[in-house]
Structure 1
Amino acid sequence: MVQRDKIAFIASDVDIARNAFSRLTGKYGNAALEDADVIVALGGDGFMLQTLHKTMPLDTPVYGMNCGTIGFLMNEFDEDNLTERLAQAEEERINPLKMVAERVNGSRHEALAINEVSLLRAGPQAAKLRIRVDGKVRLEELVCDGALVSTPAGSTAYNYSAHGPILPIDSEVLALTAIAPFRPRRWRGALLPKSAVVRFEVLEADKRPVMADADSRSVKNVAWVEVSSKNDIVHRILFDPGHGLEERLTREQFL
């Protein structure tokens, strides 16, 4: 058990989360983010991702309580015995992806993604992508609505909706998944080592515009996008015992 007495609460803008924030801070107090032993995020999965990005420089574990819809990254909401739950919580450590994207106009943009980096067509015509892995062309031309690279933690999100595989949390693997592929028609994606560097080159970019997205941070009209695992950054997420990411990823495959 790890005592985590100094709690900083942070809530999304929805009423249920704001009301929970008022009750919980009245009951347990509210430490400043920089002084806290633990950060409790009140909201849904989207807000949890925002919180992890926002608090990354603090190296403070984040415990989510679900005030949203799905709550894959969240624990069950319960106002009672929170101090005890936090002391018993188990920590998962995950690394984000780094996206480097260059637009057609030559400007370059960087962003981090906890779930996935995706490329999506931004016009009426299908995108055409060339895919390189560690500098070697693996697919000369993919005609599709888009493609993505997912972490294990994000593999049940957009990746799974695009028929990509669910990855064990400790698999040291990334999922490269096509989104609505047209040619090659049977190509759905690949499993790559975590060390892989994936580069997407947009073919006919002026005629077939493509946007890139890293956890909802979007870059329009990209010419190329490079994706790699950022192993020197660690996000610390707390879960109730027996309800960590490994259990959740396994459970998702039997729903």
Structure 2
Amino acid sequence: MTFRNIHFVASTGALAREALARLSERYGQSAIDDAEVIVALGGDGLMLSALQNTMDRKLPIYGMNRGTVGFLMNNYSEEDLFGRLNSAEAAMIHPLRMRACREDGSKVEALAINEVSIIRAGPQAAKLRILIDGRERMSELVCDGALVSTPAGSTAYNYSAHGPILPIKAEVMALTPMAAFRPRRWRGAILPHEAHVTFEILEVEKRPVSASADAFEVRNCTRIDVESALDVEHCILFDHGHGLEERLIREQFV
């Protein structure tokens, strides 16, 4: 596809706002309804936000790093943007769907491109019961938390928690504990992408937890269900030769 109509979005940082002004003037700023592609200027946080906010439009998103980490972003340059867009490699990813139940009985649903994380919200360690496809796999995990990660998000929070980096085309997700106290030597699991993961929170009042789908947080949870949202697909564009698969491989050798 040949892209000509660009809609730019930017984070609130000074570098991103300056880039937005210059690129909009040079390449034009199409209304979102007329756009063929979205160019996101910022860091990975902005990319995740842009994917969430434009999900219903099904437009590809090309990021340029005007933030901090920028794993999901391309290098920033104001030159030949149309050429870069039209030769870019597309990565198709499925997010995770989180359904969280709270103490008051309410339920919250959210999508996560990177990971769903469960984190203790008090001074004591969390106690979690883990079920996979309705079958108990761990009766009690005592920990600071746990997370379920997509391949695209496996180099982020998951990797910092010593979880595995997953190939982008692998139809799996990573279940990774954070600071596990008991069982001490459990390092997590790699699950098929169609698996349904359930975390039941034990001793809720004494050991409260919060659940986050990327940056969206739900407090006072009693149960969190996580599964791949196979009905939702995001398209991220990368410069030719620097696609997401190459980035995931490269990350393992640094």
Distance 1:84 1:246 in 2: 21
After superposition, what is the alpha-carbon deviation per residue over 1:100-151, rounded to whole angstroms, capped at 9, x for unaligned? 0001111110000000000000000000000000000000000000000000
Q: For residue 243 of structure 2, what is the aligned residue in structure 1?
A: 244
State yes or no: 1:118 paired with 2:120. Answer: no
Unaligned runs of 5+ in 1: none
State yes or no: 1:229 paired with 2:228. Answer: yes
Distance 2:209 2:33 in 1: 39
Distance 1:197 1:139 in 2: 14
Q: 1:14-33 residue pairs with structure 2 within 5 A?
A: 14-33=13-32
Q: For residue 49 of structure 2, what is the aligned residue in structure 1?
A: 50
* 2:27 partner amino acid: Y
Matched residue SS, 1:188: coil
Distance 1:9 1:221 in 2: 37
Distance 1:69 1:206 in 2: 37
Distance 2:228 2:129 in 1: 20
How much is the aligned-residue C-alpha RMSD, in angstroms?
A: 0.5
Unaligned runs of 5+ in 2: none
After superposition, what is the alpha-carbon deviation per residue over 1:36-95, rounded to whole angstroms, capped at 9, x for unaligned? 111000000001100000010001100000001111000010001001111101111000
Matched residue SS, 2:189: strand
Distance 1:165 1:191 in 2: 8
Q: For residue 152 of structure 1, what is the aligned residue in structure 2?
A: 151
Q: CA deviation at 1:152?
A: 0.1
* 1:229 partner amino acid: S
Q: For residue 100 of structure 1, what is the aligned residue in structure 2?
A: 99
Distance 1:221 1:93 in 2: 33
Q: CA deviation at 1:7?
A: 0.7
* 2:56 partner amino acid: P
Q: CA deviation at 1:153?
A: 0.2
Distance 2:40 2:215 in 1: 19
Calculate percent identity across the aligned residue pairs: 62
* 1:33 partner amino acid: I
Distance 1:27 1:212 in 2: 42
Q: For residue 165 of structure 1, what is the aligned residue in structure 2?
A: 164
* 1:4 partner amino acid: F
Distance 2:97 2:49 in 1: 16
Distance 2:124 2:84 in 1: 51
* 2:146 partner amino acid: A
User: Structure 1 length as normaliser, TM-score?
Assistant: 0.99
Q: For residue 37 of structure 2, what is the aligned residue in structure 1?
A: 38
Distance 1:27 1:82 in 2: 10
Distance 1:217 1:7 in 2: 28
Q: For residue 64 of structure 1, what is the aligned residue in structure 2?
A: 63
Matched residue SS, 2:56: helix
Count of matched residue positions in the alignment of Structure 1 and Structure 2: 254
Matched residue SS, 1:33: coil
Matched residue SS, 2:46: helix
Distance 2:32 2:39 in 1: 10
State yes or no: 1:198 paired with 2:212. Answer: no
* 1:211 partner amino acid: S
Distance 1:58 1:233 in 2: 12
Q: CA deviation at 1:189?
A: 0.4
